[in-house]
Amino acid sequence: MAADMTAKKRYRHEWKHEIDYSDLLAIRQRMRAVAQPDRHAVNGQYLIRSLYFDNLYDKALREKIDGVNRREKWRIRYYNLDPSVIHLEKKSRLNGLGTKYSAPLTKEEAQSIVDGKIDWMMDSGRPLVQELYCKMRYQGMRPQTIVDYTREPFVYAPGNVRVTLDYNIRTAMRNTDFLNPDCITIPAGNAPIILEVKWDDFLPAVIRDAVQLSNRRAAAFSKYSQCRIYG
């Protein structure tokens, strides 16, 4: 596999649960006792800003809403409003499992994609960038909306487990001014707090117990779908 197209070695298991603030407090306390904070977190958290793509027919949005078994979504992402590290990402889902491919972008490249100036992409030497170019050129893929949220991440080495608490989900609606730190975002409706648990072959019992909640079921929540509620 090309060096810029890094993926998980296999499809990973994933749980998502919609939780409330009291759940967040409980899980945060448990995870601090058994797991480690992600090394990229600052004071235990970071801000994620993503720019999601879709085509003229809202293919990604409709496939998510309809629960299509095999689907993918494209986004550009950076953290804490620091554009020194930006990634293009493609997430693929199959039978409830997920994997992610990633390629680096410079600030100038990301801005050119937002502006629709994409001719350079085929000569980039990065297969993922070239794939997005083809989808933009021939399938009408375009930036759709900005999604902001705060994440509290925890990691646990056995099972390659990652537990995240995501909240304060905000949308820029149809604004795609992705690299503007002053871009105005608003709460994405009555968005819940989201607990996500991802792992490889097995989920250790200590983590399963730490994230266990009564009267909570796995959900198919999508931040992108939530942030499209205004169009």
Q: Is the pLDDT of residue 3 over 50?
A: no
Residues 6+ apart with CB under 8 A from 67: 220
DSSP per position, 88-141: EEEEEEETTEEEEEEEEE-HHHHHHHHTT--GGGGGSS-HHHHHHHHHHHHS--
The mean predicted confidence, pLDDT, of the chain is 90
Main-chain phi, psi angles of 148, to 5 degrees = -110, 145
Q: What confidence score (pLDDT) does residue 53 get?
A: 96
Q: 3-state class of 204 per DSSP?
A: coil
Alpha-carbon gap, residue 188 to 222, rounded angstroms: 12
Domain boundaries, the chain: 6-226
Residues 6+ apart with CB under 8 A from 123: none
If pLDDT is split at 50, 70 and 90, which confidence band does 229 have?
A: confident
Residues 6+ apart with CB under 8 A from 216: 17, 18, 19, 23
Helices (H), the chain: 21-34, 59-66, 107-114, 127-138, 205-210, 223-226
| CATH architecture of the domain covering 6-226 | Alpha-Beta Barrel (3.20)
Section 111-125 average pLDDT:
97
Q: What confidence score (pLDDT) does residue 94 get?
A: 83
Q: What confidence score (pLDDT) does residue 10 get?
A: 72
Q: Is the pLDDT of residue 96 over 90?
A: no
If pLDDT is split at 50, 70 and 90, which confidence band does 6 have?
A: very low
In the structure encoding, which two tokens stand for residue 67, read together?
């629960």
Q: Is the pLDDT of residue 1 over 60?
A: no
Structure pTM? Answer: 0.90
Q: What confidence score (pLDDT) does residue 217 get?
A: 64
Q: Are 85 and 109 within 8 A, CB to CB?
A: no
Q: Is the pLDDT of residue 9 over 60?
A: no
Alpha-carbon gap, residue 229 to 7, rounded angstroms: 30
pLDDT in tens, 194-220: 999 999 989 999 999 999 887 766 677
The closest alpha carbon to 33, from 216, 159, 211, belongs to 211
